[in-house]
A and B are shown apart, each in its own frame.
Chain A
């Protein structure tokens, strides 16, 4: 066993924290109020290699392992959850899928663009396909000149600013999940219409859109992975995204605890700083305990991924736990703030709103519990259905 971060990981972690504290912290409040991603900061992140974190250097990336990339997301989320999720969607769902499933030509074309700051968006969810994405309504039909599309995608994060969309559509609807394919669509495609900006409770800096796909053609060369092989790509992408969300939850929980502790040191009631009150100390103790457990479960899942071992089971657990701990820590630390916690003038209210999304985004708690139960019951020889 060795729980030390490598020298390189420590160096990167310090670099990420430095960037997040210097660049991201100051735009976090504005990002939330303006309900728009901090595009200038994202360009600076791209210049640092952070938007191609896990891509090979040959494709403009920084060649980080999953573990180090997780450290990046935690550092970003500690300052601004919206920014971290923007980067995670872009990297874990879009970029990494191209890296894993793309042809050499596709990698060479798209990865440098993404690493250079053009945002990626992942279009899987539909009005009738939330947790259950087995039967997509969006169709892609091969006709003259390539694929022609018809359908609606909802909850597409990065939808507004994205330059590239990874779109999933049914190419053989009768075969349900075995008839889904993945496509790379430029935002410039005239038949792709970016629609309604979804107003949200939290993660307001994440640009969430409805997407209308009305026509074509998309050249066959823009299909990602095998025809009718899209389902597996979506599953792998979502497993990676759960790992990313665990790292983000860790950052959100850390930021909430940090805000709570700082407030409690400054705030005086009954003649002492409220940090001296046993009731509040218990909140801090529980929060930091849960954060430490989450940290090492997240590290373990990322380490498995980097070892080339199956990591989805650990990532699911870390995602479920992370969502609960981020939400619970933010809730407790809002309580520590008393009335100030309810004020938009204090960052904890934003962190609290942001934390709520983590129990839904990337798989609802309920669906993730199903996946975990499926895993433990499979080990016990029982197959279950959602």
Chain B
């Protein structure tokens, strides 16, 4: 056993901490209020190589692996969940599906621009009638000559309004449906027939734009098929599996930030003639938060290590997402409680953190789906197969 981070990862974290504190923190509130991503900060992030952290240097990535990517997501989400979500959709699921299963030619075509931040990526799975039951997708891709023509809708797509390239799961064989008859396509958003709906109005993550995507006979060349024809559902499920690890890392950053915020406040806030840090009910909330954060940290980086070492990780990835989202929501809620009315003030950042945190219990597979994934893996180990 060795729980020490490599010097490379330590340096990455130091660089990220500095960037997040100096560049991101001053902008986080405005992102929430305007609902617009900050292009300038995204440009800076591109220069720092942050759009390709886990990917091989062969494609212009940083080569920092899943561990490095988890460090990125933890640090970003500690300061600005909206920005972390843009990066998460871009790297963790959007580009990841291409990275995992795309042909060498297709990776060479898109990944360098994606890693440099010149292309923003998105992940197109969810549809109006396909949420947790993702196998119910209806968006059709019909072959004609050397192309496919895509018709249908994708919904709740993170980065939808700002994406340059979207990985889209479409039905190529309706008889087989999602299981064996769905294929992933890399679709450029500038192509004819593609349009974006109005940005969704959400409770939180205002700085991370989300929208409906319309495909009205979008022509996609055959070379833009990602992975094997008919096996797109597998590619997307694999992508979501791995994405849950870094999502767990993001929630770790959110929980850590809540603890840090609470620790600063309990020192300076005085009631009953002393700092509230001296009140045992407050101390107990801090102790539970610190315990949860430490446990989550161990789970997340161990799972990242499993990924980096080519070991099975599906069950553990679900655990990172499930436990992480619940811990983050709980920690932020407690931090808000510790702040009293100030916690509710929109002049202070906790209410934003509280609104931003809730989605982690829902997106990239609701926590109910995570429980099915985890129970399914667990029961499979003792020879029982289950269905949702």
A residues apposed to B, CB below 8 Å: 1-6, 9, 67, 261-262, 265, 273, 275-276, 278, 281-282, 284-286, 288-290, 292-294, 296-297, 299-300, 303-304, 314, 317-318, 320-321, 366, 368-377, 379-382, 384-385
Q: Check if B284 sits within 8 Å of A373, measured CB to CB.
A: yes
Number of A-B contacts (CB under 8 A): 157
Bound together, the chains give a CA A273 to CA B379 distance in angstroms of 12
Query: A359 CB to closest chain B CB, in angstroms?
Result: 13
Chain B facing A: main interface SS: helix
Task: For chain B, residues 296 to 344, give those with C-beta under 8 angstroms from any C-beta of chain A.
Answer: 296, 298-299, 301-302, 305-306, 315-316, 318-319, 322-323
Among B259, B283, B374, which residue has the most Cβ atoms of chain A within 10 A? Answer: B283
Q: Which 10 residue pairs are nearest across A and B when measured between Cβ atoms?
A: A373-B283, A281-B375, A285-B371, A296-B298, A372-B287, A369-B287, A285-B374, A2-B2, A289-B319, A293-B295
Bound together, the chains give a CA A338 to CA B277 distance in angstroms of 43
B368 in the interface, Cβ–Cβ < 8 Å?
yes
B residues apposed to A, CB below 8 Å: 1-6, 67, 259, 263-264, 266-267, 275, 277-278, 280, 283-284, 286-288, 290-292, 294-296, 298-299, 301-302, 305-306, 315-316, 318-319, 322-323, 368, 370-376, 378-379, 382, 384, 386-388
Query: B273 CB to closest chain A CB, in angstroms?
Result: 15
Name the A residues within 8 Å of B264 (CB-CB).
380
Query: A260 CB to closest chain B CB, in angstroms?
Result: 11
Among A281, A297, A385, the residue within 8 A (CB) of B298 is A297
Query: A368 CB to closest chain B CB, in angstroms?
Result: 8
Q: List 8 A-B contacts (CB under 8 A).
A: A1-B5, A1-B6, A3-B305, A261-B379, A288-B315, A299-B1, A374-B283, A380-B264
Among A5, A282, A372, the residue within 8 A (CB) of B291 is A372
Name the B residues within 8 Å of A1 (CB-CB).
2-6, 67, 301, 305
Name the A residues within 8 Å of B302 (CB-CB).
3, 296
Bound together, the chains give a CA A358 to CA B211 distance in angstroms of 49
Among B6, B263, B275, B375, which residue has the most Cβ atoms of chain A within 10 A? Answer: B375
Q: Check if A273 sits within 8 Å of B286, measured CB to CB.
A: no
Name the B residues within 8 Å of A299 (CB-CB).
1, 298
Bound together, the chains give a CA A162 to CA B2 distance in angstroms of 37
Query: A281 CB to closest chain B CB, in angstroms?
Result: 4
Name the A residues within 8 Å of B286 (CB-CB).
372-373, 376-377
Name the B residues within 8 Å of A370 (CB-CB).
280, 283-284, 287
Bound together, the chains give a CA A374 to CA B387 distance in angstroms of 47
Q: Check if B382 sits within 8 Å of A377, measured CB to CB.
A: no
